[in-house]
Every structure is written in C-alpha cells, then in structure tokens.
A and B are shown apart, each in its own frame.
Chain A
C-alpha cells in the first residue's frame, strides 16, 4: 500500500489522541507501516521551546506536516494528532503531502468543559492559562474534512468505524472483508434491483 497522512484536528480533549492510537492499532493489524505524531509529544522534542503564539503554533504544525510528508513518500501511514487551529496551515500541509485525509474531531465546548481530562479548560476559564484554543484563542473548523467524527455523540467504536470505512472507500487501506449485508440479504437485494432493471 502507498503511504498517506491522516490528520486529526480539533479542540483539546476532543478525542484526537484516543482515536489516533486506536487507528494505529487497526492499521498495524492490517499490515501497514504506521507512525503517530501526537501534538503533545511533538512539543516535548521536535518543537521543544515553541510557545503558543500564532507564529509558534504555525511553525509547530508546519514541522509536523513536513515529517508527515517524508513518512508518506516512504509509504508509511503518518497519523498526526494536533489541535492545528488554523485552516490555512492545515491546507498548506494538505498541499505539501498530497495524499491527505483530514479528520475533524468535533465536540462542543460545553461537552469538553465537562470532559476536561487534563483540567485545562477549568484553568483556562479561570484565566490561569492564556491563549487556550476554543476559550480565548480561535479554532477554525475545517470546511471540507474527509471525515467528521462527533465525539460527544458517537462512541469510540462508531467513530472508528466511520474512519476505517472512509479509508477503505478512498482506497487507502485494504478492506476488512466484513459485509454490511448477509448473503441472504444480498441475494434479495440483487433480485429486487434486477426486477427494476437496476442491474
């Protein structure tokens, strides 16, 4: 299989890291070479020292994008999981990488405040953290992401199914062989379509 990049974007706590790790497991099981670039981890090494100004955020996302580009062209599936709040930089990475699947982890801010696994929203709302995306710093939603997962409504398994199915439809990963219809149902569907001249 050829390499491609899966780019998770969304607010802090919206499920990017969880889903990226689960997708990594699924793709490894299907025999693909996979590398995850998690925003939180990248900031401790590749982007160590960068802050949260717009300029620093853009540099961080460009760096992740460049590494994804290198991995993709060497037939690795690169999975980036970073807030990546600015549309223009995400689109810049899409252009650079080419084979690019954007996944927007959509979750309303109210649900995130309740979820708040790292206690960050609480701190941001108290003013203890400045420039927090979604609270006092902007997040630009994707306009045409290949996949939108609604992490406040869907279970992790439902979101994973959506992602895997789309990657299959796009031809990025081999099919699982699982069928939506039983053989008996498929036979009935064929008969009905035949009777109306559709096949």
Chain B
C-alpha cells in the first residue's frame, strides 16, 4: 500500500511534432483542421521558436534533449568528416557530448519513457525506456532495455517509413498513417504499463509529409491535398488524446502544467535548391581533382573552403585538414569574401541568403571549434544543399518542402522566455519537475 503522504509526482509529457511550423499550427488551429490542438492552444501559450543551426533534426533534437547548442553537444549535422580525411562519417547517439534531459532526470531516480526520439541511435541505457527514431536502422539496436524488443516486434512497431520509396506518394501516404497508428499503439502500451515521470513521443511523419508533399498544402487541386489535411487531422486527434489522458492522470485543469508540444524546425515550400559547393567551386574557393568530381573527397590542393550539408562552410585549414591550405592569418579575408559573395547572391532579383553567421555568433562551449566556420541561412524558398552532383547553382528535385530555422513552435502552459530557442525547453521541463 502506498503511503498517503507521498509527495505528488511532477510528471511531464512532451509531444514532438517533427518539422511542424508555428505558422501552420496557427493556421490549422484557426481554420478548424486541428480542433483538439486549438483547444489546447487556447488554454496556454503557443510561441514561435528559433532552433540551433543548421536547422535539421540531427542538430535540433540534440539541442532540445541537452538544452545546449552544438558547441556543447558536438552534433553539427547528419554528417561530419572522418578525422584527417574528407570522407563523411555519420555521427551517432554515442557522439553526443552533453547529458540529456533523461540523464538528468534519471540522476534523481526518476523514470523516462522516450518513444521515437530522432538522433538517439544506437539506443543506450537511460533510467526507463528509450526507443530511438531516425536514423535508426535495426530495431534491436534501437531499444533500451532490450527486454521490450519482443513487445515491439510482436506489435509490428515501425520506426519510420521507408523514405527511399517516398517518391511514390500513394506508398508514402499509406505508410504515414500505418506508422502513426503503430506509434500510438506502443505509446498507449508504455503509458499504461510503465511507471514514469517523464513521457515523450515524437511524430516524425509530419516532416516526411512536408518534404515530399508540401506543394499539396495550398493547392486544392493537388491529388494529395485532402490527404495532407487528413494526416494533420489524425495527428490532431492523437495530440488531443494525449492531452486528455495527461490531464486525467495528473488531475489538473487547464492549462495543464507539465504538458509540452514542440517542433524541431519549421517548413516552407522550395522554389529553388541552391548548391553551395557549386558556388564555392565557381568562386574559386573549392578546387576538385577533376571537373566532373561529385564529392568533396576529390578535393584538390589549393582549396580554401568547402561545404557540408546543408549549409556549413569549413575553411580548409593547414594542420586540420589533410590538404589544408588556409593559414590563420588568411582566415579573416576569406571569411569576409565568402560572406560578401553569398550576401550579394540573388536569383530573379531576390536575395538568396538571410544571414551568413560566423561560428562564434552561433556556437559556444568546448566543441565549438569543431563546428563550421560559417553557417548560411537562406531566405524562405531557397533550399541550401551541399551536393556536388548537380551541374548548376540552382535546381529542383522531387522534394517540395524545406526547413526553416525561425518558425518552429512550442506550446506550454506557462509563458516561455522571450526570444525563445529550442535550447530553452529542457530548462523549462526541469524547472517543472523540481
């Protein structure tokens, strides 16, 4: 029998909606597409939020889970360079260099259930349950503790849709629904069967939908317009159910402190993709061994700068890179030239870049020096890519949506700090749990 004087748990529930913009939440909660979320929004604070750079899940979610910028957690992208090489490596959860919110909660002997959290693969032990999300490959390496694997397998748990087949929109839309259903079943199971203080589930289907079908959002004649809205209605119903059960569990009235909803970046439509390495090549900063080389692995002597996806520019420093040619005294003029060149760049009279930040402006902490020398942020519609496989500076692909850095959102019961950044959310959660 539990003692009646036990202090009430300060439980927290976090819903992550990957890639959902603040502006879209506003729109869908005002036009009736998301009625459950509209109720929640009315009861608390819906805030526009900036994220750390570059504005991709690989970086944003670690910034959320550690409450730190990449200079502290050391994840600067889906890719990084192998030491002393121009070959790509793919940072994993093991590369994260700052403690996560679940580590901190666990230190207080509090338990977390974390479902489909991107950037946590391969899963490692936490106090509670962790099911890794993107880029998780094998389910058996994506779970902690291993004892939960049979339950997930038996339930047919789907980590993510097979994005390599997402060009087939019929496949994409069918899988998105199946994956969301599978996610909710497992969410229900752990909600009921685990003792937890912190519960988090991330919906990643929204991001996949946006990448491939953002053009269906505003085009009522698009064959998948209705499906786009229908998927959001499903997400809305899921969020509504989570909110109701959390209120019931914690016996709280609106606005339900302890409940948080956030996205890791915003989204907008692609007008043109802009190929940053092609630009560096054209301007003479990047030199390749052959004219048709399509990878920075073919960097030639004399290269002063190169880019890693999506928008990270690294100076090719002597002593840091194998074919480094930039000496410390050359850094300032090169940075100035690249910033000036990118800032002036336009297409059909429209500027491509919104900002080109120097490292110190966006990163601090012990790993800041491992980050890019410059990070570019484009104006909406111009999607920056590092690819050298495209022949020109601008082009299009099958992808119709692109990420934005200043249009993510947070919903919280209490008013968040001014100039909200995704790195603030962990502190708000910890404060609630104290």
Chain A residues with a Cβ under 8 A of chain B: 144, 146-148, 161, 165-166, 168-171, 174-175, 180-181, 185-186, 188-199
Contact = CB atoms under 8 A, between A and B. Distances in A.
Contact of B399 (A147, A189, A197): A197
Contacts of A194: 164
B111 interface: no
A199 B164 contact: no
A69 to B, nearest CB: 19
Interface residues of B, number: 41
Nearest to A147: B97
Contacts of B135: 189, 192-193
A171 B78 CA distance: 19
B137 A169 contact: no
A148 B99 contact: yes
A187 to B, nearest CB: 10
B122 interface: yes
Interface in B33-74: 56, 58, 74
B137 A185 contact: yes
Interface in B75-117: 78-79, 82-84, 88, 90, 92, 94-95, 97, 99
Interface in B352-379: 365-367, 369-370
Nearest to A174: B83
Contacts of B56: 198
Given A180-B122, A189-B137, A196 B163 contact: yes
Given A165-B95, A192-B164, A199-B79, A185 B366 contact: no
Nearest to B208: A196
A142 to B, nearest CB: 11
Given A174-B83, A196-B163, 9 more contacts: A146-B366, A147-B97, A169-B367, A190-B90, A191-B164, A193-B78, A193-B79, A196-B208, A196-B399
B385 to A, nearest CB: 7
B211 to A, nearest CB: 6
A180 B137 CA distance: 13
Nearest to A195: B163
B83 A199 contact: no
B370 A169 contact: yes
A189 B90 CA distance: 8
Interface in B241-267: none
Interface string B369-401: 110000000000001011100000000010100
A171 B79 CA distance: 17
A195 B309 contact: no
A199 B92 contact: no
A165 B211 contact: no
B246 to A, nearest CB: 29
Contacts of A199: 78-79, 88, 309, 386-387
Interface string B289-324: 000000000000000000001100000000010000
Contacts of A189: 90, 135, 137
Q: Which of A169, A171, A198 has its CB near the most chain B CB atoms (within 10 A)?
A: A198
B164 to A, nearest CB: 5
Contacts of A161: 94
B74 A169 contact: yes
Nearest to A166: B97
A193 B309 CA distance: 10
Contact of A169 (B97, B273, B399): B97
A190 B79 CA distance: 10
A131 B416 CA distance: 44
B373 to A, nearest CB: 15
A144 B370 contact: no
A199 B309 CA distance: 6
B270 to A, nearest CB: 9
Nearest to B134: A192
B139 interface: no
Given A174-B83, A198-B78, A185 B399 contact: no
21 contacts: A144-B366, A166-B97, A169-B97, A170-B369, A174-B83, A174-B84, A185-B137, A189-B90, A192-B134, A192-B163, A192-B164, A193-B79, A193-B90, A195-B163, A196-B211, A197-B273, A197-B383, A197-B397, A197-B399, A198-B56, A199-B309
A197 B164 contact: no
Contacts of A192: 134-135, 160, 163-164
B137 A188 contact: yes
B138 A185 contact: yes
A180 B82 contact: no
A194 B385 CA distance: 11
A194 B83 CA distance: 22
A171 B320 contact: yes
Given A186-B90, A195-B166, A199-B387, A170 B79 contact: no
Contacts of B208: 196
A148 B211 CA distance: 38
Given A169-B95, A180-B122, A195 B164 contact: yes
A194 B56 CA distance: 14
A198 B309 contact: yes
Contact of A180 (B84, B94, B166): B94
